[in-house]
Amino acid sequence: MQYGVAYYPEHKSDGELDHDMELLTASGINTVRMGEFAWCRMEPEEGKYDFEWLEESVERLGKAGIRSIICTPTACPPAWLVHRHPEMLYVDNRGKKRPFGGRRFYCYNNPVYREYSAKITEEIAKRFGKSPYVSGFQIDNEPAQEASGRCHCPVCRKKFSRWMENKFKTIREYNRRSGNIFWGQDYEDFDQIKPPVNTIEVSAWQDMPVYFENPTLRLEFERFSSRSQIEYQNIQADILHRYTDYPVTTNGTGLATNSIDYYESTKNLDCYGFDYYPGLRDAAVDSFPYAFARGVKAGKPFWVMEFMSGGGHRFGGSGRVQPNPGALKQAVIQSFAHGADMMLHFQFRTFPFGAEQLNYAIVDMDGVPRRRYYEMQDTAKLLTQLAPVERAEFSNQAAVCVDYDSHWALRIKPVNDPDFQYLDYAGRMYRILAERGYNSDVISYDADFSKYKLLVLPAAFITSGAFQMKLRRYVENGGILLATFLTSVKNKDNVGYTETLPAGLTDVFGVSVEEVEPIFAGNQNQVHLTLKDTETDSGDGMWCDLLGGTAEALGTYTSDYKKGAMIVSKNSFGKGKACYLGTDLGERAMGELLAGLCREAGMAPSPVRAEKNVEVVHRVLDGHDYYYIFNFTAGDTVVKTEVPVYDYLKGCVYENDIPMERNGFVLVKRWRQR
């Protein structure tokens, strides 16, 4: 595993640089990331390049066994460029132009900025593309972060009009498909179409909060903006690929924080990279982002380009608590267990100046190594011990499906907002499966479904006819499908289907949606589940798709006017089963439902028992089962195992009980496995 830190030699005096180099060399790490905000040093004047300072650091680190990830610095264009070309500045949805002085103040569609970005990228590629001390490249930094991904400048407005024309061909066709007759919004010409006033962009301000625009227009602007970011990224990716064989990526933020479709954006990249800042003080680190990362480029490792390093001050001013002793090590090994090929802490040494001054780091401003540094040092040694098992494979038989169109549509026109969040709900399904002993993958709608025995489809709000057919064939061929409320409600134009819901799939599920409503505290009702091996009760939640039809009722209401009505169903279709979950369920009932479907699919739970705040990750190496166990319980605990297991690091065997320390982890191998 490539393990290390983000480092900023451009900030350092000669003495500070020498001091840091000694600490970095002694730390045992093997990777640093540099350069993402240093354009003004790389090109202090137009056309005059200076990379000597960076080349010196790359060489010093490289000779010490530490390779570098070199970043293109386009997240922060230099002052001379902005002064000469103010037309390249970003304009937000309120019409406000971002000035020089922060970061991410450029328009990614501006042709002038694209030209300058290409020039600096080529200079970097020429100098570092073949360096033996480099291991990869990062494009830009956190594209679209801090509400910089939905530009409204004249270039973007004109380009969006052309996007709409290219897609819909005639204005009459656009008016028809979008239903612009509603509120009399028919257009005469594509040049009249402008980006929507309001936005779903994280951290952006609504210009007119009670101004409701056409959902088709708004979804198309999300797609256009995502595609524009990808175009800009690929200008740099194509240049880098001409000069280097090292992996090229960028660093996303979250699964959809910045509304870039990562399934699309990584097609021209060598791996998926992202930043992750979970809490590490008596808190379970959510592994859903790692499972998502594995599925972005199936079969390829993923990189964590920035990760938590400590506590104290933070960017926003509220501060972060320090991690527990051992929590940094535990979190790094957890990412390793889930398939990460790189983990870099942000950052090595606290900044004394700038917008991120005083922020958390591995080493404090005074440069004195303390517990976080020594824990990083221990982690580096530990990763060397674990290197022989790094090539272990995943053999998950269940998958959770996610989709950007459905995510965007459910933010544009929310359902039970803010309680229901699409990706959070998908993550809940993933976590409940894990707690019941079933690891799962997180995949896109375009992935190969045939390798999975169970497919969980949360709120597939937008579906195409082709995707409906794909689900149909999956079930026909023997798969078990669990779809939830809000399935197949809208078409790809973000327009509601006028046929009975779930559109195009009523025969597959054997149900029709009879009526719908959000579930609040005042209208909650009880549901009784009758499963193969158990019965249980739960309150409903989030939403209700009340069901009718010929399917077997697994769940029915027991109160109010809904008493006796079906809310959870199962239907035989072809060789498989299609289940429809018309409402949310409590933890216990949801767990029973998911575990029952796993058993029906012929899946066996992990013999090492997962539980709340204890994660078990199963890998397979040379036919042998390995289990990583992570204790997030905020105390010592004992984990039960149904089979004898061998502790890979300690060299002992556990017959029934596996003792675990607070913030500890264990790697065990199934003992005497044939």
Binding residue positions for substrate: 103, 141
- CA-wise closest residue to 121 among 111, 109, 132, 113: 113
Instruction: State how far Cα 611 lies from the chain centre.
Output: 24
Q: Looking up tokens 């998926």, which residue turns up?
A: 272
Containing 386, the helix (H) or strand (E) segment is: helix 371-386
Catalytic residue among 142, 201, 220, 435: 142
Q: From 350, 351, 463, select the one nearest 405 (Cα to Cα).
A: 463
- In eight-state DSSP terms, residue 320 is B
CB 627 within 8 A of CB 618: yes
- Of the candidates 435, 455, 429, the one whose C-alpha atom is nearest the C-alpha of residue 444 is 455
Active-site annotation holds for 306: yes
How many residues belong to the chain?
Answer: 674
SS3 463: coil
Tokens of 36: 């993402």
Output the six-digit token pair for 274.
Answer: 């992202």
Catalytic residue among 306, 375, 592, 615: 306
Token pair for 579: 């289940």
Whole-number Å distance between alpha carbons of 395 and 635: 30
Check the CA dihedral 178-182-183-185 and report its sign.
positive
Task: Reply yes or no on whether 142 is catalytic.
Answer: yes
Are 488 and 511 a contacting pair, CB within 8 Å? no
Query: Are 37 and 74 in contact, with CB atoms under 8 Å apart?
Result: no
What 3-state class would DSSP assign to 431? helix
Q: Helix (H, G, I), strand (E, B), or coil: what is residue 392?
A: coil
114, 464, 487 from 469: Cα distances, Å: 40, 9, 14
Q: Which residue from 227, 200, 196 is spatially nearest to 95, judged by alpha carbons?
A: 196
- The Cα–Cα gap between 502 and 416 comes to 19
How would you write 80-139 as a 3-class SS string?
HHHHHCHHHECECCCCCECCCCCCCCECCCCHHHHHHHHHHHHHHHHHHCCCCCEEEEEE
Residue 454: burial class (beta carbons within 10 Å; 0-12, 13-18, 19+): buried
Cα three-residue angle 302-265-49, rounded to 5 degrees: 85
Binding region for Zn(2+): 107, 151, 153, 156
| Helix extents (H) in 491-586 | 506-509
- What residues form DSSP beta bridges with 568? 555, 581
- The annotation places the binding site at 103, 107, 141, 151, 153, 156
Give the integer Cα–Cα distance in Å for 398 and 588.
19
Catalytic residue ranges: 142, 306
